[in-house]
Structure 1
Amino acid sequence: MVGAPSANPSLRSLQGNLTPKAAAAIVREHLDPNDIRVFVRSSPARLLALGVVIVTLCLVAGIVAANTTSNRQQTLNELLAESEPFAASAQQLYSSLSVADAAAATAFIAGGLEPQDVRDRYTQAIGEAATELTSASGSPDPEAPARKLLSSVASFLPVYTGLVETARTNNRSGYPVGAAYLAEASTLMQSKMLPAAEELHARQASAVADTQRRFVQPPWLAFGLLVLALAALVVAQLILLRHWHRIFNPGMILASLTMAALLVWMIVAGWLSASATNRALHHGSVPLGLLTESRILAQQARSDETLKLVRRDTTGQFDSFYDDDMARLAQRLGEYGTDTEGAHLVADALAAQERWLVAHKRMNDTLDAGDFAGAAVVAIGPGDADSAAQFEAVDSAIAQAILDTRATLRANISRAARSLEALGAGAMVLAILSTLWIALGLWPRLREYR
């Protein structure tokens, strides 16, 4: 009977309980440095190194492209779902507070029992302000400045409404002290609440615009890595042609076509997304900022006009405030582009502002003649040529322009996000597919050295 061949003593020793030091000694014994150097310089080693380099480049390019695309799309979706609605809510909060203050002042100018429509306007404005505070309170980070501004307005709102109700009660009873309570309420609104709401909107609008400005620029890093990976594939095929005399390598050609397809997809989708973001910025955020500032100025001017009558001001202070606000309003509306969404509404607002200035002068002339009741009619009366109607025309035109411009803004942001759909996952799939093509292309060459 022939016995089994005896095993190598070194290999038998591996089956025993070896210390790490002893095992390392055995490995060194079987790894001849000369053999390693020969292998490193051999064609199979160079072919393997070439494969590792181009596979790594393709995978890195695909990962960066996928992450960049996914991050851009996620940010745009968050902008559409959170940041932009919060900015719009802040603008509506300011408008509601301003309307409430103007309605409260109008009731006092009317004297005695306030008209029901004025009372309804005040109640609706306060309700809308409370709703905007509630809806916006969950959006910002608890430690963010925006949250502090919201808390400030929310804490002052019940104080303001309490002062207004006290003023109303005294006014209905004919007590002059009611005007003092209204003055205190208006001071609180003008010095604390409206500035906080205005700053809140400015912060959120700036955040929306800043995000859009960042995404106007294409993802250059992802583009660069894809171009580098594609160039490496071309160079690899030239190396195969030079050293292995292979004119065509189907696997490498398919890998090149796959990465080229990803690059083209990335360029087209990135360009479409950047273009839509650019339109959202220049035809949405920028004009929306002008419109919002214009509406705030118009509402401030209306408050100045009514408060002059409420406080029986003879110093000219409120006239100075009114003139300054109206001059800035005309300047802002004049800066609005004629080819921008809502341009015809801005033209209507400018025309109504001119008529409002005429009505305001008529109010002042009547007041200078000692006719307070007549001046009050011009200020809050129902006449089409009176201040109330002209302010309403200005405010309505700007408010509609804001709605139209905001719709343009949101449509372009949505288009920018949709342009990137499926690209994140597609980039990873194509990158992995290209590595498989590379492996299939190099494997036959490696088998030649068996």
Structure 2
Amino acid sequence: MTRTEESTVSEPSSPAAAAVWRERLATTELRSFARSSPAKLIAVGLILLALCLTAGLVTAAAVTTRQHALDDLLGESEPDAYSAQRLYTSLSVADASAGTAFISGGLEPKTVRDRYNQAVGEAAAELVTQSNRSDGDADTQLRSGIATGLPVYTGIIETARANNRGGQPVGAAYLSEASNLMQGTLLPKAQELQEHRSAAIAATQRNHVRPPWAAILLPLLAVAALAGAQLYLFRRWHRVLNLGLLLATATMVVLLGWTVVAGFISAVDTTHARDAGSVPTAALTQSRILAQQARTAETLKLVRRDTSADYDRTYDQAIEKLRNILSGYGSQQPGASEVKTAAAALDRWRAAHQRMNDALTKGDFLGAAAVATGPGANEATAQTDALDRALGDGIAETRNTLRASTSHASRALDLLGPGALVLSTAAAVLIAAGLWPRLREYR
């Protein structure tokens, strides 16, 4: 073998050797650069940029989500709950009015007939309103059950009326059947639907009063990282202040403070909407329903001329619950004056009911009917109407409080979402501006 051939075998080719040496140099240079001050500055800057921008994005997303939830409560959940409450109340009023019409015998008074027709019409209108909402299968089935059962109920009532006008005693049996359908099927479905709607409001309020921890902790972490970066720069380069990082820190402190203050104000308003709006509205709604249940039991006792204690037991239970709710209603709550009016009407109604029972005990059906359905100012009809009006006015006031406080809670967050993006972007720019002079020193 010649010397030339030996050299060719023992030495690698020139391009391959160059590639090997470039790789070694590149690795060496990369390691050297990674340990250098410029690399550390760049790493600190990237970490700070990522923290600030992430904090802004997370805060903006959290605020937007919360504000949308409040807007949905105002635009859908609360109107749905109010509609469901009106549906339940209208059905109860219709049942009580149907019983009242029978007590007079023959052709019922026009005012009583009109009250029944109005209640049925309002119930049908609320069913239409509810049908326009997108909800779960359970609520759809409840609404469909009420919509299917309401015509059956009104049909039985008309049969009962026809028999009553003809003086046929079987009319009372038809009325009892219709009332059993209402009390045993339609009203429980309406109550469940109302509870679902109210639960949606409660869930939104419960979630809103919880602090948005991610939107608080991330800006706080960014502030801590900025403070740590300035301490690192001071120890490494002996610079007292870095204006860019100092301004970036102030910017993130502003974002953190804004988030905490606006979130606190919004949470306080939402809590007020719950405590002075949702909770008393639910109590007054329950009171209105109990009043109609008691009125239905009172009229059915007269229609059936029942001497047993079944209807009295239903009446007494409903009145006792109603009295407890009204007596426990806060004097500083919205609608307190209306509740006071309702309590006075309830006392007068209970006195009229006792007079009715005394007349029935003596066998004076006409006298008892006059007390229960007569036009006098001290009779049961006037007192139940006054009670229902007062409760309705109280519900309107508490509902206004709920909507006003929720709207204020939403407005408190109006500018925070876009403000978080602006402040975090400004902090990122200031970080770059603060670190760039240090990097230029290594050119």
Greater Cα shift, 238-247 or 100-109: 238-247
Task: Report the counterpart of residue 106 of structure 1 in structure 2.
Answer: 100
Query: Displacement of 1:246 after TM fit?
Result: 2.2
Query: Displacement of 1:241 after TM fit?
Result: 1.3
Q: Distance in 2 between matches of 1:413 and 1:403?
A: 15
Query: Displacement of 1:312 after TM fit?
Result: 1.8
Q: Deviations over 1:255-281 (max 9, x none)?
A: 112111111211221111011001101
Task: Report the counterpart of residue 215 of structure 1 in structure 2.
Answer: 208
Q: Distance in 2 between matches of 1:226 and 1:27?
A: 47
Q: Distance in 1 between matches of 2:21 and 2:118?
A: 85
1:179-258 equivalence runs, <5 A = 179-258=172-251
Is the Cα contact below 8 Å between 1:212 and 1:281 reproduced in 2?
yes
**Equivalent of residue 38 in structure 1, options 32, 43, 51:** 32
Residues 1:364 and 2:357 are matched in the alignment: yes
Task: Report the counterpart of residue 63 of structure 1 in structure 2.
Answer: 57
Q: 1:89 corresponds to which letter in structure 2?
A: S
Residues 1:409 and 2:397 are matched in the alignment: no
1:140-179 equivalence runs, <5 A = 140-143=134-137, 145-179=138-172
Is the Cα contact below 8 Å between 2:96 and 2:293 reproduced in 1?
no
**Equivalent of residue 41 in structure 2, options 42, 47, 51:** 47
Query: Displacement of 1:174 after TM fit?
Result: 2.3
Q: 2:305 corresponds to which letter in structure 1?
A: R
Q: Distance in 2 between matches of 1:27 and 1:429?
A: 48
Q: Distance in 2 between matches of 1:56 and 1:347?
A: 59
Greater Cα shift, 59-68 or 252-261: 252-261
Q: Distance in 1 between matches of 2:100 and 2:110?
A: 12
Query: Displacement of 1:214 after TM fit?
Result: 1.9
For 1:370, what is the secondary structure of its paired residue?
A: coil
Task: Report the counterpart of residue 336 of structure 2 in structure 1.
Answer: 343
Q: 1:170 corresponds to which letter in structure 2?
A: N
Query: Displacement of 1:118 after TM fit?
Result: 1.0
Q: Distance in 2 between matches of 1:130 and 1:148?
A: 16
Task: Report the counterpart of residue 128 of structure 2 in structure 1.
Answer: 134
Runs of 5+ consecutive residues of structure 1 not aligned to the other structure? 1-12, 14-21
Query: Displacement of 1:390 after TM fit?
Result: 1.2
1:350-429 equivalence runs, <5 A = 350-429=343-422
How does the TM-score come out when normalised to structure 1? 0.92
For 1:32, what is the secondary structure of its paired residue?
A: helix
Task: Report the counterpart of residue 90 of structure 1 in structure 2.
Answer: 84
How does the TM-score come out when normalised to structure 2? 0.93
Q: Deviations over 1:387-408 (max 9, x none)?
A: 1111112111111101000100
Q: Deviations over 1:208-262 (max 9, x none)?
A: 1222122122322211111111111111111111112222222212211211111
Is the Cα contact below 8 Å between 1:140 and 1:146 reproduced in 2?
no
**Equivalent of residue 74 in structure 1, options 64, 68, 73:** 68
Greater Cα shift, 241-250 or 302-311: 241-250
Query: Displacement of 1:60 after TM fit?
Result: 1.3
Q: Distance in 2 between matches of 1:119 and 1:391?
A: 16
Query: Displacement of 1:30 after TM fit?
Result: 6.4
Query: Displacement of 1:142 after TM fit?
Result: 4.3
Q: Distance in 2 between matches of 1:206 and 1:293?
A: 15
Query: Displacement of 1:175 after TM fit?
Result: 2.4
1:310-349 equivalence runs, <5 A = 310-349=303-342
Greater Cα shift, 383-392 or 403-412: 383-392
Q: Deviations over 1:303-346 (max 9, x none)?
A: 11011111221111000110111111111112211111111111
Task: Report the counterpart of residue 29 of structure 1 in structure 2.
Answer: 23
Q: Number of paired residues?
A: 428
Task: Report the counterpart of residue 270 of structure 2 in structure 1.
Answer: 277
Q: Distance in 2 between matches of 1:260 and 1:307?
A: 68
Q: Distance in 2 between matches of 1:213 and 1:379?
A: 44
Residues 1:300 and 2:303 are matched in the alignment: no
Runs of 4+ in 1 over 6 A off after TM superposition: 25-28
Greater Cα shift, 34-43 or 134-143: 134-143
Q: 1:430 corresponds to which letter in structure 2?
A: L
Is the Cα contact below 8 Å between 1:237 and 1:252 reproduced in 2?
yes
Q: Distance in 2 between matches of 1:279 and 1:440?
A: 45
Runs of 5+ consecutive residues of structure 2 not aligned to the other structure? 1-14
Q: Distance in 1 between matches of 2:32 and 2:383?
A: 92
Q: 1:248 corresponds to which letter in structure 2?
A: L
Q: Deviations over 1:392-432 (max 9, x none)?
A: 12111111101000100110000000100021111112111
Is the Cα contact below 8 Å between 2:244 and 2:435 reproduced in 1?
yes
Q: Distance in 2 between matches of 1:33 and 1:141?
A: 62
- Identity among equivalent positions (%) equals 55
Q: Distance in 1 between matches of 2:87 and 2:21?
A: 76
Q: Distance in 2 between matches of 1:389 and 1:26?
A: 104
Q: Distance in 1 between matches of 2:131 and 2:21?
A: 67
For 1:336, what is the secondary structure of its paired residue?
A: coil
**Equivalent of residue 124 in structure 1, options 82, 102, 118:** 118
Q: Distance in 1 between matches of 2:22 and 2:172?
A: 99
Task: Report the counterpart of residue 254 of structure 2 in structure 1.
Answer: 261
Is the Cα contact below 8 Å between 1:58 and 1:226 reproduced in 2?
yes
